[in-house]
Amino acid sequence: MSPALPSPLLVVSAHAADFVWRAGGYIARTTAEGGQAHVVCLSFGERGESQGAWRQPGMTLERVKEIRRQEAEEAGGVLGAGLRFLDQGDYPLPEGEEILSLLVELLRELQPALILTHSKADPYNLDHPRAAELTIRARMVAQAAGYPSPLPPLGAPPVFRFEPHQPEVCEFRPDVLVDITAVMEQKLRAMASMRSQEHLVEYYSDLARRRGVQAVRNGGPREIRYAEAYQRVFPEVAEALR
């Protein structure tokens, strides 16, 4: 029997749909095993990642935000995850002390055992690496014993980067392929919730299938059909090399 997945899980998502495409399977596996999963959406992706919503007549920015919140909450419900929306705006996602402080307090409140976030680079969408950088900085600050907060310091949860849309140009090299075969139907239903970006469903379905093939070729059980790829940020502490 495989060991339980680390919990609580925290996923830091630049926009309201990123967590579904890139980590939906891992989230579903965590909650299926009885663990807790939390998703922090730094923005709704209202400007740059809501093409379907903006095609509707008379659309406004605030209405797009409402639509994206509803879609993300529906997807989160399918995956069993709790969502927090920081509504910091996108294209560009801001940086600075305000958004950093919000993340630090969330990390101290939730005390995640594992963190998932974006790739280090993404020349097609600079909001993604900015979210990743904010996550790493917030983890560092949340660990500081002298940081002024009523909440306890964070430990040292491992951080993994989930797969970007075009990994070849995003400095993304997978370290881990995670089997999501048992929860792929959940991920498909969660992706279907993101109606403002429905054009991505087929792409990420095909990607999960390809990563599943690679998982088998890298020594995984032949029963694996679907997988997600992740890249480790910090070294793993282990008793032996495997």
Q: Cα dihedral sign for 159, 162, 166, 172?
A: positive
Measured between alpha carbons, how far is 156 from 69 in angstroms, rounded to an integer?
31
Question: What is the CATH number for 164?
Answer: 3.40.50.10320
Pull the structure tokens for residue 114.
């594992």
Q: Is the pLDDT of residue 2 over 60?
A: no
Is 240 part of a structural domain of the chain? no
- Name the pLDDT band for 218 (thresholds 50, 70, 90): very high
Overall pTM surpassing 0.75 (yes/no): yes
What is the mean pLDDT of the segment spanning 157-182? 97
**Cβ pair 51, 7 in contact under 8 A:** no
Q: How many CB atoms lie within 10 A of CB 22?
A: 26
Is 239 part of a structural domain of the chain? no
What is the mean pLDDT of the segment spanning 71-86? 98
Is 93 part of a structural domain of the chain? yes
Is 4 part of a structural domain of the chain? no
- Tell me what pLDDT residue 3 has: 61
What is the mean pLDDT of the segment spanning 49-69? 96
Is 24 part of a structural domain of the chain? yes
Pull the structure tokens for residue 155.
């430990």
Q: Is the pLDDT of residue 133 over 50?
A: yes
Total domains present in the chain: 1
Length of the chain: 242
Is 100 part of a structural domain of the chain? yes
Measured between alpha carbons, how far is 79 from 142 in angstroms, rounded to an integer?
27
Better-scored residue on pLDDT, 77 or 1: 77
- Name the pLDDT band for 1 (thresholds 50, 70, 90): very low
Burial class (CB in 10 A: 0-12, 13-18, 19+), 162: buried
- Backbone angles phi and psi of 240, in degrees to 5: -155, 160
- Tell me what pLDDT residue 242 has: 80
Residue 66, amino acid: E
Q: Is the pLDDT of residue 25 over 70?
A: yes
150, 155, 142, 149: which is closest to 107 by C-alpha?
A: 142
Domain assignment of residue 31, given as a range:
9-232
What is the mean pLDDT of the segment spanning 151-180? 97
Query: Does residue 234 sit in helix, strand or coil?
Result: coil
169, 183, 200, 230: which is closest to 15 by C-alpha?
A: 200
Task: Round to the nearest angstrom and report the end-to-end CA distance of the chain.
Answer: 17
DSSP string computed for 20-70: HHHHHHHHHHHHHTT--EEEEES---TTTS-HHHHTSTT--HHHHHHHHHH
Is 3 part of a structural domain of the chain? no
